[in-house]
């Protein structure tokens, strides 16, 4: 029995859950609820799209995204784990960790009494992953779909020594025009400006996007919003278990060099990431579990 057939036999439900192979070895899950629809790749447990009923997409996926085993997907909600950015000591290890490019197992998929749908995943760690991350631990990623999208990453230290954990939900949000948006909720926060050589600055007013932006906002509160006048809505992002917020857009020149943004794709997205990065990484003691959760919902402008 093929992997696709096994998943269909075990989990498929005609009215809310189906599986397909959209490229060789690349299986996705399509989820439909009365409130919204989503597509999730088994590689990386990667939420590729999410669109509330009757609304424009909330999660952006590049029209030029490539779907192949072991290759990262441009757009969606990549999981950065167990480190964010480059590895602290090993330059040859993958940036943002290995979680987004390895297979994950679907452990649970069920419809809740309120007609939301919940899925639970765990990563399949091979010898390479274990060599890069030699700490005894378990990871679970939970996706709950309804009027809101809720994504939650839980890491448990199952060993006898503490370890340091960096992570992010590297979410790409769809916007009408990135040059017109404002990001509220980060006013007055300190941030590391990676475009300006890692200088430390303080945010003055709301965040706007002019050219390339790559910032780690430190010690942030649990809520911010992407105010989008072009699409007459605000995307509200509510986070728990997160000390950092990353804001990223590659700008025109860098996006052109990356090759998988599509024509002017950078104008239609912004990443606002729920994270624990830089100064805000987590130290996890033996037996301890850390859960980082983000909830996304849309507020229409009157």
Catalytic residue among 148, 170, 179, 266: 170
Question: Is 127 one of the annotated active-site residues of the chain?
Answer: no
Q: Which of 46, 87, 266, 273 is catalytic?
A: 273
Is 170 among the residues known to form the active site?
Answer: yes
Please name which of 98, 140, 147 lies closest in space to residue 119, comparing C-alpha atoms: 140
Rounded alpha-carbon distances, angstroms, from residue 193 to 60, 202, 244: 24, 10, 13
- How far apart are alpha carbons 164 and 157 in whole angstroms? 10
How many helices and strands in the chain, by DSSP H and E? Answer: 3, 22
Please say whether the dihedral angle defined by the alpha carbons of residues 241, 244, 248 and 254, taken in this order, is positive or negative. Answer: negative
Coil vs helix vs strand at 132: helix
What does the block give as tokens for 213?
């932006």
Could you tell me where the DSSP H helices lie in the chain?
3-11, 127-132, 251-258
Catalytic residues: 170, 273
């Amino acid at each position: 029995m093929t992997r696709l057939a096994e998943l269909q036999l075990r989990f498929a439900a005609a009215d809310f859950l189906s599986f397909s192979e959209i490229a060789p070895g690349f299986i996705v899950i399509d989820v439909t609820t009365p409130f919204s629809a989503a597509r999730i790749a088994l590689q990386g447990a990667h939420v590729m799209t999410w669109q509330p009923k009757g609304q424009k997409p909330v999660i952006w996926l590049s029209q030029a995204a490539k779907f192949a085993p072991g290759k990262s997907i441009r757009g969606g909600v990549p999981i950065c784990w167990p480190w964010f950015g480059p590895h602290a000591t090993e330059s040859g290890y993958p940036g943002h960790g290995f979680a987004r490019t390895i297979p994950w197992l679907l452990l649970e998929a069920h419809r809740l009494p309120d007609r939301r749908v919940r899925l639970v995943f765990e990563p399949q760690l091979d010898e390479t992953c274990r060599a890069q991350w030699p700490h005894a631990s378990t990871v679970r990623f939970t996706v709950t779909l309804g009027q809101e999208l809720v994504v939650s990453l839980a890491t448990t230290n199952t060993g006898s020594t503490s370890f340091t954990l960096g992570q992010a939900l590297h979410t790409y949000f769809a916007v009408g025009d990135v040059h017109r948006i404002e990001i509220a909720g980060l006013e007055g926060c300190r941030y590391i400006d990676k475009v300006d050589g890692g200088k430390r600055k303080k945010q003055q007013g709301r965040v706007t996007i002019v050219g390339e932006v790559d910032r780690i906002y430190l010690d942030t509160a649990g809520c911010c919003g992407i105010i989008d006048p072009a699409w007459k809505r605000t995307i509200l992002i509510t986070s728990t278990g997160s000390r950092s917020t990353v804001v990223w857009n590659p700008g025109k020149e860098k996006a052109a060099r990356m090759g998988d943004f599509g024509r002017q794709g950078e104008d239609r997205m912004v990443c606002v990431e729920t994270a624990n990065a830089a100064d805000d990484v987590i130290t996890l003691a033996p037996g301890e579990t850390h859960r980082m959760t983000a909830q996304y919902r849309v507020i229409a402008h009157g």
